[in-house]
Structure 1
Amino acid sequence: MTELDIIDAELLPVAQKPDLPTHTAADYELSRETVEALKAAIPAETYRKYDFWLKRAESWCAAVGRTYFPMTTETITEWIRVTIDTPSDKTGEPYGASALGQAVAAVLAAHTWARVPVDRHPDPRPARLLIKAHKKRLADSGRRVKKSATVDLDGFTAMVQQCDTTTLRGLRDRLIAVWSIWSMPRRKEFAARVILDVVVVPRKGVRLFFASSKTDQAAEGEWVTMPRRHDLLDPVTAWTEYRDALAERGVTEGAVLRRIDRWDNVGDALSAESVNDILQALADKAGVLYDENGLKFTAHGARASGATIADENGASAAAIRKQGRWSPNSKVADGYIRPRDEWDGNAMAKIPTIPAQRTNATEN
């Protein structure tokens, strides 16, 4: 044996050395505390959606006599085909391609989390082929992706004017409306902000820290800056007046957005759903809840509104992505930036008209 062979032998992993014992059952065990910690590490919303689909899959498998776990390729394909043909309990309509794709992802994730060997995972390709065909059928039948209405600067100004800023509740609602434009937040991430996440920079504006987000799963954190303005939509005034009013009531830490009753009593953190409800209530009072196409304004529409307003005023796609914390590879223009005027602003609207044809053209 050469010196190199001896060195290689010393560096071999323990499991490959024939003269040493193999792993025992204990080497493959996780404590209940570790399992719970892993479960807690999964984003709550993702866990909720995956749990929904896994429970449905387990129930269906039990009803038809199939093995739920580990699942075969044939079983996941059959389950997806049946789910495609089964209307949603909530809407009464067929599930969309996005939801069905999530169902497949949930099954695959469950196998990964349970450390099932990869060669025993179900092959998702047949199921995804069914989903692709289903998506085309839905489109051909007239089903369209639902979008939220957007609101322009005049609309947001009208929404802010509905806020009674002599009350704490009105100050909070104004903050929600104003920051929804300038920081383009996802409502869940917006609701999670705490007072320590906000920094006022003198003569510049305000900075808002997002500790983690949909596009920052590693939780490295991102700052979003909102420049000072000199109008009703100033993000600094909206914050400082609300902050000072909270401080007067002894609230100097914890959640930024709070439940506040009609008597201005302060409660615990506002939910993401409540952020949406408040924005819709303000939009309704301002007369901008629905657009000319009958689409309804939502918190997601506020995010799209911010992107659209920025685009209309010359912001680059890169700057918009950074402000709204979209992925660097995200095509923000697809679905978020909405042209305001589909007629005068149409790509074909300014093409010159053709001169009248001559009536006495000479034939060759």
Structure 2
Amino acid sequence: MTLALVTSYDTPLAPAAAVPSTRLFGWGETPPEGLTSQDLDRITEAVAAGRARSTRRTYAWQWGRFEDWCAGRGVPSMPATPATVCASLTDFAAQGVAAGTIECACAAIRAAHETEGEQNPIEDLSVKVVRRGLRRMIGTAPRRQTRPLSTDEIRRMVTQIDRTTARGTRDAAIILLGFASALRRSEVAGLALADIELKPDGLLIRVRKSKTDPEARGQLVGVAHGQHVETDPVTALHGWLAHRGTRPGQLFTGFHHDRIGTRPFTGSGLARMLKERAAAAGIPSERISGHSLRAGHATTAAMAGVGLDRIAAQTRHTRISTLVEHYIRPLDAMQVTSSRDLGL
């Protein structure tokens, strides 16, 4: 079972870990009498929708790597034995793979076996013991913490942008709207014009589907007018719309030969743009990522004395502990450190 890896962020993907096998439903090798190919297509679509596109892409990549490893050792990947899984995980660790990536590989292997109706090797005690040992050996802390962007840095970035061009107005709007809204990069990239509702004091964004709202009930995020014209996210959005127009569809699109295209601007494209704009403004860009806008909103708001409840309402964190661990605690550590009082 070979997975086709996908190079385009916008290409829908249904890897083996998401495609229903007839065995998954207890049908044997053929579906029950009376089902049509259209029925099977709809079932496939429904099963694939059970996981976010980004998850399917990640599982596809991880499962493909596991298949390649198994092929190189001459052992079957489906079904895989617990010993095979243990050997592959320890080999990945020896190659310097992070603990989080190894856990992601386990999730992909589990999903593929469950989908195929095979016994799940990840649940074997030997695999659990090896995973626990690898977590202790490698450590689970992030290796490269995303660098949050501050308001001053955002101002420096957008000041360097030529907003007389369509590309410049788009990038400024993405940076300012992403920072002010604290949306995830995939949410910013996935916005449609219909998701924006202008208000006298700012705008409302309807996030149709998100990590914390997988069933797409919809969430509302408010963005107020900025205090300064050059960093006002609402003004920046109007600037982009003057170039884009008011046709329905994706709010932010890519460019084709310096002309506004029709394909959505992707999350990975957003991350690359941020790094380029940060570097152009003289800001170290090594740890800048698509998450820097959202992280920057949370840390900047906390430094300004905004309460955790308001920050969590904006970021839509369902667990305050996550907000504290990733954004507030590093900030507190710098504020309370006694190293300032050592006279060094």
With the shorter chain as reference, the TM-score category is 0.7 to 0.9
Per-residue deviation, 1:328: 2.9
The one-letter code of the counterpart of 1:112 is E
2:77 to 68, 92, 98: 68
Per-residue deviation, 1:216: 1.4
Secondary structure of residue in 1 paired with 2:236: helix
Match of 1:239 in 2: 237
Question: In 2, are the aligned partners of 1:159 and 1:282 still within 8 Å (CA)?
Answer: yes
Match of 1:348 in 2: 338
Counterpart-to-counterpart distance in 2, 1:96 and 1:103: 11
CA 1:95 to 1:165, structure 2 compared with 1: closer, same or farther past 3 Å? same
> Aligned pair 1:131/2:139, yes or no?
no
The one-letter code of the counterpart of 1:233 is T
CA 1:261 to 1:165, structure 2 compared with 1: closer, same or farther past 3 Å? farther
CA 1:174 to 1:95, structure 2 compared with 1: closer, same or farther past 3 Å? same
Question: In 2, are the aligned partners of 1:288 and 1:297 still within 8 Å (CA)?
Answer: no
Counterpart-to-counterpart distance in 2, 1:138 and 1:35: 40
> Aligned pair 1:121/2:120, yes or no?
yes
Question: In 2, are the aligned partners of 1:318 and 1:328 still within 8 Å (CA)?
Answer: no
Per-residue deviation, 1:62: 4.3
Counterpart-to-counterpart distance in 1, 2:32 and 2:150: 57
Match of 1:333 in 2: 324
Between structures 1 and 2, the one with greater helix share = 2
> Aligned pair 1:289/2:312, yes or no?
no
Question: In 1, are the aligned partners of 2:274 and 2:289 still within 8 Å (CA)?
Answer: yes
Counterpart-to-counterpart distance in 2, 1:57 and 1:266: 37
Question: In 2, are the aligned partners of 1:197 and 1:208 still within 8 Å (CA)?
Answer: yes
Match of 2:93 in 1: 84
Counterpart-to-counterpart distance in 1, 2:342 and 2:280: 42
Match of 1:58 in 2: 67
Per-residue deviation, 1:307: 0.7
> Aligned pair 1:212/2:212, yes or no?
no
The one-letter code of the counterpart of 1:68 is S
CA 1:59 to 1:139, structure 2 compared with 1: closer, same or farther past 3 Å? closer
Instruction: Count residues with an aligned counterpart.
Output: 310
1:45 to 46, 54, 75: 54
Per-residue deviation, 1:95: 0.7
Counterpart-to-counterpart distance in 2, 1:49 and 1:244: 37
The one-letter code of the counterpart of 1:97 is A
Counterpart-to-counterpart distance in 1, 2:142 and 2:168: 36
Match of 1:101 in 2: 103
Match of 1:180 in 2: 178
Counterpart-to-counterpart distance in 1, 2:142 and 2:117: 39
Counterpart-to-counterpart distance in 1, 2:339 and 2:199: 44
2:221 to 209, 220, 224: 224
Question: In 2, are the aligned partners of 1:311 and 1:317 still within 8 Å (CA)?
Answer: yes
Counterpart-to-counterpart distance in 2, 1:319 and 1:83: 41
Secondary structure of residue in 1 paired with 2:254: strand
Counterpart-to-counterpart distance in 2, 1:273 and 1:132: 32
The one-letter code of the counterpart of 1:56 is R
| Deviations, residues 168-215 of structure 1 (Å, cap 9, x unaligned) | 22211111111121112221221111100111111x211111111122
> Aligned pair 1:199/2:189, yes or no?
no
Counterpart-to-counterpart distance in 2, 1:284 and 1:58: 38
CA 1:28 to 1:65, structure 2 compared with 1: closer, same or farther past 3 Å? farther
Secondary structure of residue in 2 paired with 1:68: coil
Counterpart-to-counterpart distance in 2, 1:298 and 1:27: 45
Secondary structure of residue in 2 paired with 1:199: strand
Match of 1:17 in 2: none
Per-residue deviation, 1:263: 5.1
Identity %: 25
The one-letter code of the counterpart of 1:134 is L
Q: TM-score, normalised by structure 2?
A: 0.78
Counterpart-to-counterpart distance in 2, 1:27 and 1:137: 46
Counterpart-to-counterpart distance in 2, 1:224 and 1:261: 31
